[in-house]
């Protein structure tokens, strides 16, 4: 060992030292450049999308967002149907996913025996690892027929006649449509939301929880009045991450949404989202204004999800800064 | 003294507690039910079509028998391309965040943007690469597909690399520096070596993530009915083949799609389990 040290001493001669600092700054420069690449990529994506979207935005103006036309033959395009579909499916997905994710996080942090924690955590995370195209196939070939045969007629019969909300549940039992897409989206985002909720719940200081238990609180009361208030920013952040995912999810939705450029009041009718429109039509778009309209849709999607995800990150970062959460 | 109201309150609290805990257990079952159902579907639908031909024959025209060999090979090529392009940049960028830019504003921005990039819709990446590469080359290509996947690999590897490098104690860096090692040497032979399995975890997770990605490949690598190793030409790949075959009206094609879906899902699950069981747990990516 000592011999090694002795032989290494001459390498710190002045000449070699210059060489070393030269290589050091090269290394640091390369690392800096790699980090900057991330910013360049985001900038380039934004630039390319805006550049591609300009012809359509120029032709249709702000009316592009509100127009419900989508006609490749007459070259008249509007984003209302896909934007509506994207927002409705994502919102509905969040309505389903939020309580379930909360339940899972609660179960893992407060109820689950220690030995079961990791297997259940891994199982839920595997749900996130399954590719979205698999969800799509399963939704189209397995879930949709079952849903159409067994659940949908019953729901339409019992809820379709309700005043105001009834219209949401009307229509022929197709199996596919906005509702099926939302349900599958919900299943897909549950792992993301519950993983974040679990992490922030676990970051609640033990002392706080134990004091509440010591005062005689039930588990639910501890979660409701101590853990949730303490972690609410993180919980909202987790929900926003899930929303960001749901907004941009493509393949699963493409399979089950029905791909109809129609606005319908019923959740059981086919629709379209921005991402499924892109997946279906982008390679088929032959004339420039068609392509440009599709890229405009992409730009809208990118902006919406960027804002949602940025807010989510900012919330989670704030939690980290305030409360010393190590994520 | 315990009054009737106290007793009532006590019972009510117990009841609310029981109800909420039961609901939370049901929620967990609800989540796991889908996983089990999905896997069950894949196995029952796909296993009967998994045979030797699947790995040796190329994708057939409708009505003929065939396999997925070209799609499997193409997928591997695309994944390797994506990792070759994305992983080094990710590792270097993660190195910057952990070793050089600690606490700087620039590093904070990069970390933030990388996290957003990681969760942003992958189909947008496809559109981006289409506009930048495919239009200029004039046709779809494996390069374009690999590049689109690299854009997903990059933020995953960046995140895990940074997290794993941060786990290396500063004492080790200081000890190496005190021996006269220049900074790059400290990083390459001390920090990287200590965090090696963590960095590998990041790359494996990235591979698991991109191997099922379909949306970014639709407009970039597209598909190819034949075996091809020409990187500047369209290339067959499992996800797009599964998509096209599943949506087709032909039974043979749908069967192949289920077999492919089974292969890809269990490949990815296996990779995930290996990573989680054998390698240190990095921060989960979101």
Please list every residue in chain A whose beta carbon sits closer than 8 Å to the beta carbon of residue B179: 5, 8
Residue A193, chain B, CB below 8 Å: the answer is no
Question: Any chain B CB within 8 A of the CB of A226?
Answer: no
* pLDDT attached to residue A323: 55
- Contact A103/B23, CB-based, under 8 Å? yes
Residue A4, pLDDT score = 42
Using the predicted structure, report yes or no on whether residue B218 has a pLDDT greater than 90.
no
Residues contacting residue A239 through CB under 8 Å, at least 6 positions apart = A94, A98, A193, A312
Q: Does the pLDDT value for residue B134 go beyond 70?
A: yes
Report yes or no: A42 at the B interface, CB cutoff 8 Å. yes
Buried b (16+ CB within 10 A) or exposed e, B236-250: bbbbbbbbebbbeee
Mean pLDDT of B196-203: 89
Q: What is the pLDDT of residue A133?
A: 92
Q: How many residues does chain A have?
A: 327
pLDDT at residue A194, as a whole number:
92
Sign of CA dihedral B161, B163, B167, B173: positive
Residues of chain A with pLDDT under 50: 1-14, 324-327
- Is the pLDDT reported for residue B280 higher than 80? no
| pLDDT band at B146; cut points 50, 70, 90 | very high
As a dihedral over the C-alpha atoms of residue A44, residue A47, residue A48, residue A51, rounded to 10 degrees, the angle is -160
Q: Is the ipTM, as predicted for this complex, more than 0.85?
A: yes
- φ/ψ of B253, rounded to 5, equals -65, -40
Residue of B nearest to A29 (CA): B96
Please tell me the number of Cα atoms within 13 Å of A192 on its side-chain side: 28
Q: Which of B89, B81, B91 is nearest to B196 (CA)?
A: B91
d(CA A140, CA A255): 6
pLDDT at B7: 87
Contact B121 A35 (CB under 8 A): no
Q: Rounded mean pLDDT of B229-247?
A: 86
| Pairwise CB contact (< 8 Å): B215 & A129 | no
What pLDDT is stored for residue A7 in this prediction? 42
Burial class (CB in 10 A: 0-12, 13-18, 19+), A323: middle
How confident is the model at residue B63, as a pLDDT? 75
Cβ contacts (< 8 Å) between B88 and chain A: which residues? Answer: 34
Residue A20 to residue A16: CA distance in whole angstroms:
6
* CATH level 2 (architecture), domain A80-326: Orthogonal Bundle (1.10)
Span B34-46, mean pLDDT?
Answer: 90
A39 to B92: CB separation less than 8 angstroms, yes or no:
no
pLDDT of residue A258: 83
- Full-model pTM: 0.87
Domain ranges of chain A: 80-326
pLDDT for residue B283: 47
């Amino acid at each position: 060992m000592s011999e090694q040290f002795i032989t290494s001493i001459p390498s710190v001669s002045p000449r070699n030292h210059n060489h070393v600092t030269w290589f050091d700054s090269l290394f640091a420069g390369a690392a800096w450049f790699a980090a900057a690449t991330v910013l360049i990529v985001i900038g380039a994506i934004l630039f390319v999308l805006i550049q591609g979207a300009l012809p359509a935005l120029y032709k249709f103006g702000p009316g592009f967002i509100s127009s419900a036309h989508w006609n490749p033959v007459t070259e008249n395009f509007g984003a209302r149907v896909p934007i509506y579909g994207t927002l409705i499916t994502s919102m509905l997905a969040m309505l389903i996913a939020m309580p379930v994710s909360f339940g899972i996080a609660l179960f893992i942090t407060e109820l689950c025996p220690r030995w079961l924690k990791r297997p259940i955590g891994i199982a839920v995370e595997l749900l996130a690892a399954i590719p979205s195209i698999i969800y799509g196939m399963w939704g189209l070939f397995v879930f949709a027929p079952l849903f159409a045969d067994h659940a949908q007629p019953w729901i339409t019969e019992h809820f379709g006649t309700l005043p105001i909300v009834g219209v949401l549940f009307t229509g022929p039992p197709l199996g596919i449509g906005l509702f099926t897409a939302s349900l599958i989206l919900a299943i897909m985002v549950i792992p993301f939301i519950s993983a974040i909720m679990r992490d922030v719940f676990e970051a609640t200081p033990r002392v706080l929880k134990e004091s509440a238990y010591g005062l005689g609180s039930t588990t639910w009361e501890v979660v409701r009045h101590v853990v949730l208030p303490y972690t609410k920013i993180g919980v909202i952040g987790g929900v926003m991450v899930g929303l960001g995912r749901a907004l941009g999810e493509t393949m699963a939705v493409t399979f089950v949404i029905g791909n109809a450029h129609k606005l319908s009041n019923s959740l059981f009718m086919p629709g379209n989202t921005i991402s499924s429109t892109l997946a279906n039509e982008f390679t088929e778009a032959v004339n420039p204004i068609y392509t440009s309209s599709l890229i405009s849709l992409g730009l809208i999607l990118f902006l919406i999800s960027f804002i949602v995800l940025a807010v989510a990150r900012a919330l989670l970062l704030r939690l980290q800064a305030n409360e010393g959460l190590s994520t | 003294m315990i009054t009737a109201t106290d007793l009532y309150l006590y019972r009510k609290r117990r009841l609310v507690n029981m109800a909420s805990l039961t609901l939370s257990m049901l929620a967990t079952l609800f989540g796991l039910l889908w996983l089990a159902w999905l896997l069950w579907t894949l196995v029952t639908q796909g296993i009967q079509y998994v045979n030797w031909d699947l790995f040796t024959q190329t994708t057939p025209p409708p009505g003929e028998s065939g396999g997925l060999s070209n799609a499997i090979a193409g997928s591997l090529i695309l994944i390797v391309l994506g990792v070759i392009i994305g992983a080094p940049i990710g590792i270097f960028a993660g190195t910057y965040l952990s070793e050089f830019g600690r606490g700087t504003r620039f590093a904070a921005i990069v970390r933030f943007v990388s996290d957003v990039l990681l969760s942003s819709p992958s189909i947008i990446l496809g559109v981006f690469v289409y506009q930048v590469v495919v239009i200029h080359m004039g046709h779809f290509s494996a390069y374009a597909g690999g590049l689109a996947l690299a854009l997903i690999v990059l933020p995953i590897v960046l995140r895990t690399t940074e997290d794993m490098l941060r786990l290396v104690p500063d004492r080790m860096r200081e000890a190496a520096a005190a021996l006269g090692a220049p900074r790059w040497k400290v990083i390459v032979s001390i920090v990287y070596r200590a965090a090696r399995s963590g960095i590998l975890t990041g790359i494996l997770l990235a591979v698991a993530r991109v191997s099922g990605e379909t949306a970014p490949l639709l407009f970039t690598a597209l598909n190819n009915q034949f075996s091809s190793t020409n990187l500047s030409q369209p290339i067959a790949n499992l996800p797009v083949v599964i998509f096209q075959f599943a949506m087709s009206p032909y039974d043979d094609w749908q069967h192949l799609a289920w077999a492919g879906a089974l292969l890809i899902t269990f490949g990815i699950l296996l990779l995930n389990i290996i990573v989680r069981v054998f390698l240190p747990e990095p921060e989960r990516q979101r």
